[in-house]
Amino acid sequence: MDKFFNTAGPNQPDIHYTLAPKDRVNWPELSGLIAARKYFILHAPRQTGKTSLLINLMHFINGQGHYRALYVNIEAAQAARNDVAEAMRSIVQVMASCAGLYWHDEQARKSALTILGEPGHGDWVRRVLQTWSGASDKPLIIFFDEVDALVGDTLISLLRQIRAGYAQRPEAFPQSMVLCGVRDVRDYRIHRSDGEIITGGSAFNIKSESIRLDDFTQNDVKALLQQHTDATGQIFEPGVLEEIWEDTQGQPWLVNALAYEACFRKPDQRDRTQPVTVEQMRQARESLILRRDTHLDQLADKLREPRVRRVVEPLLAGAAGSEDLPDDDIQYCRDLGLIGLGRPLSIANRIYREIIPRQLTWSTQETMVQEQPWYVAPGGHMDMDKLLSAFQQFFREHSESWLQRYAYQEAGPQLLLQAFLQRVVNGGGRIAREYGLGRGRTDLFLQWPLSAKGYLGTMQQVVLELKIQHKGKAATLAAGLDQTARYADQCGADSAHLLIFDRDPGVSWDDKIYREEHTQGQRTISVWGM
């Protein structure tokens, strides 16, 4: 049977290229926690492989014969909201179904359903786990997935039932339990129906560890691609692995989606005698971004949350530091996979860096008049003076009304320029974006094909450096010229432009708008005041 790169749901090794999920965690550590009768948290961003891992671990543990493990996805109980009885009914019904599906245990299934007929819905889950544990000749291991899908009183009830039975493990309660979700339990902010707010840590203070499922390593990505080569004979050109890594930083869904796009989406790419090229990977990236698959739509939806905006906005604006960013907001964005784990803070990967400003300026792009490519000179190259002069005038006339549309006000000028330049992408060019906390600027790298060979031929390459004027023109200009020259040299750019935005309402537009030429080292840099 042919195999594919998986982009939807848990991995099925018979049809998907698969990295053994057990190898993605520290199994000696995990097995030690189980042996020590610990209850712990496993969390990771969406579509990282959590469900695949838990199902694989269940089968692996059951195969060893020391414990009896069960995977239970309780997401369906989310629909009950704060209706505790309905939520607990849903959870127990799923538990019963999973006992029949994975254990093939009709008695366990029936005993769970029998408990649903008893009074006291706030204790149903505990009683099922107690009944199962007492009837089993092996200690139980329970994996509850999508726990953080529950809200309010329903989540509190589940956590407290588990805590109530904890002291009876392993004879009358599971030996070990794993609660899995996007966030760590300490980050749960549980709003009860009576208005009281309870933190997850206080409702589930028996947690011993919190384990994060990491993204793929570069070796993991290499191993996944090698499975495709081994199965089909199709090779990946040198540089493809590095291109995927820069785009994804190992985010599992993105890795699989890019590889599927490049290897399976188009008929000519299914010719296994032809290697997969770097350019095909770049085209795959653009296709993913434009198609806005579910994973990227979910990411974009999170940008509306105030906790996310407080962290992402200064990243887009290149703000100076993170002293004023709440620690729990930073951790929340890390748990969502939006920002990386390292320092300084930055957007997690190149695809997210691309999709975030596009999403935030989507309506702007849609409502801007998209004329014919007036910025293309007769020789076929981009006329950057014409393009930036037009933006300068557009910014003067419309920035006040356009910027009011953005929730991300602090990064408004950068976002508006990127929306304006998106026509370059729509016309056949590309924009690479670099921004992050503490950079003090946003870097844009424009590429424009100059021959019929497209990106395989000669290209015009342009660097744009965006800075907000904070310390006066002279200081901003000095720092900006140095930064622009260094970035242009790094990219091998043909031309370089520094855009300085003066947001002081007391300065007239006649003083803000200017165009100058400066020399920095061996480079001539065009400076545009806004």
In the numeric block, the tokens 């089909």 are attached to 232
**What SS3 state is found at 52?**
helix
User: What is the torsion angle, in degrees rounded to the nearest 10, for the CA atoms of residue 344, residue 347, residue 351 and residue 356?
Assistant: -150
Identity of the residue numbered 136: S
pLDDT for res 371: 63
Q: Is the peptide bond before 170 cis (omega within 30 degrees of 0)?
A: yes
Quick one: residue 337, left, alpha or beta (phi over 0 = left, psi -120 to 50 = alpha)? left
Residue 329, burial from CB neighbour count under 10 angstroms (0-12, 13-18, 19+)? middle
pLDDT at position 189, please? 52
* Number of alpha carbons in the 13 Å side-chain half-sphere of residue 265: 18
Sign of CA dihedral 477, 479, 482, 485: negative
If residue 430 lies in a helix (H) or strand (E), which one and from where to where?
Answer: strand 430-434
- Mean pLDDT, contiguous 10-residue spans, the chain (530 residues): 88 90 83 92 87 92 96 94 93 98 97 95 96 97 93 88 94 95 65 49 58 91 97 96 96 95 86 92 89 77 89 81 75 88 87 87 68 80 93 89 77 87 76 75 90 86 92 92 94 95 92 96 95
Where does residue 474 rank: exposed (0-12), middle (13-18), buried (19+ CB within 10 A)? exposed
Q: Pairing state of beta strands 68-73 and 140-145?
A: parallel
d(CA 194, CA 213): 35
Query: What confidence score (pLDDT) does residue 323 get?
Result: 58
> Cα separations (Å) of 342 from 35, 244, 303?
32, 19, 21
**How far is residue 467's CA from residue 413's CA, in Å, rounded to a whole number?**
9
Beta-bridge partner residues of 145:
73
Report residue 469 CA to chain centroid gap.
31
pLDDT of residue 464: 95
How much is the pLDDT for 425?
65
**Token code pair at residue 344:** 């300084």
